[in-house]
Amino acid sequence: MRILLIEDDQSLADGIATALRREGYALDHAPSGKQGMALARAAQPDLIVLDLGLPDVDGLSVLKSLRGYQIKTPVLILTARDDLPSKVQGLDAGADDYLTKPFAVDELLARLRALERRVGSAGSAEVVIGKVAINLATHSVSYAGDPVRLSRREFSLLRALAERPGHILSREQLEDKLYSWGESVASNTVDVHIHNLRKKISPEIIQTIRGVGYKLGSPQ
Ligand code: CA
């Protein structure tokens, strides 16, 4: 899951970035409206967190222009306390949720998970494939009822495949889901995560489609 954060307050952005990366999200940060619009189009995030008070182009205009470009990525707006007109305008302009500053990071994470569930697998928090159950809300995985411990990135990779069962994702698409722009990625990183997932869950959990990519298997 790849998130774009458009926020000019550097210390707030750093705090959010640390929390999101700890949860296994890939995060791109834009400190201005213009950079945010460019990254929203280039990085193809799964979710956007957008501050309305930006120094160059205000957040509301950023949102309107994204929707104008037919970018339908869910957007959670961050607004100043008690700024009711901004919230209403933001929701009217196509935002999916809002959070009033100051907020607890845990609430931001919960709201992002709720948006994620809406984007992924038809609103269901749990994806079941054969004996494997993947809970997208609690980030837990079990095989034949036994819990499986995964690293954050292993879970992110599994989630990327579980969100669209039957779809094939290329190695580059998987890297995009796991790592931010500018983060250095060793060329075999995805293979290592897939190797670990097969070892920890089942060799059939991920199928290799030669020359194309990977898809979720159906381990029995
Ligand atoms: Ca701001």
- pLDDT, tens digit, 9 for 90 and up, residues 102-115: 999 999 999 998 88
Task: Please tell me the least confidently modeled range out of 2-6, 28-32, 118-122, 144-148.
Answer: 118-122
Please, which pLDDT band fits residue 10 given cuts at 50, 70 and 90?
Answer: very high
Ligand 1 centre from 8 Cα, in Å?
A: 5
Residues 63 and 152 in one domain: no
Name the E strands within the chain. Answer: 2-6, 26-30, 47-51, 75-79, 97-100, 126-129, 132-135, 140-143, 146-148, 206-209, 213-216
Considering the chain, what percentage of its residues have pLDDT values greater than 90? 61
Integer Cα distance of 192 and 156 in angstroms: 13
Residues 97 and 143 in one domain: no
Question: In the chain, how many domains are there?
Answer: 2
Please identify every residue whose CB atom is under 5 Å from ligand 1, which is an ion: 8, 51, 53
Residues belonging to the chain: 220
Task: Please tell me the least confidently modeled range out of 79-88, 129-138, 177-186.
Answer: 177-186
Residues 21 and 115 in one domain: yes
Q: Is 52 left (phi over 0), alpha (psi -120 to 50) or beta?
A: alpha
Residues 86 and 45 in one domain: yes
Residues 131 and 200 in one domain: yes
The string of pLDDT tens digits covering residues 62-82 is: 999 999 998 889 999 998 867
Task: Please tell me the least confidently modeled range out of 96-100, 165-169, 191-195.
Answer: 165-169
pTM of the model: 0.73
Tell me the residue type at 33. Answer: G
Ligand 1 centre from 203 Cα, in Å?
A: 47
Q: What is the mean pLDDT of residues 118-145?
A: 78
Residues 54 and 110 in one domain: yes
- The DSSP annotation for 91-111 comes to HHTT-SEEEESS--HHHHHHH
Q: Are 6 and 45 in contact (CB under 8 A)?
A: no
Which residue stretches of 23-104 are H helix?
Answer: 33-42, 59-68, 84-92
Residues 25 and 71 in one domain: yes
Please, which pLDDT band fits residue 177 given cuts at 50, 70 and 90?
Answer: confident
Ligand 1 centre from 51 Cα, in Å?
A: 6
CATH number at residue 81: 3.40.50.2300
Domain of residue 135 covers: 126-216
Q: What is the mean pLDDT of residues 156-173?
A: 88
Among 64, 90, 119, residue at a domain's last position: 119
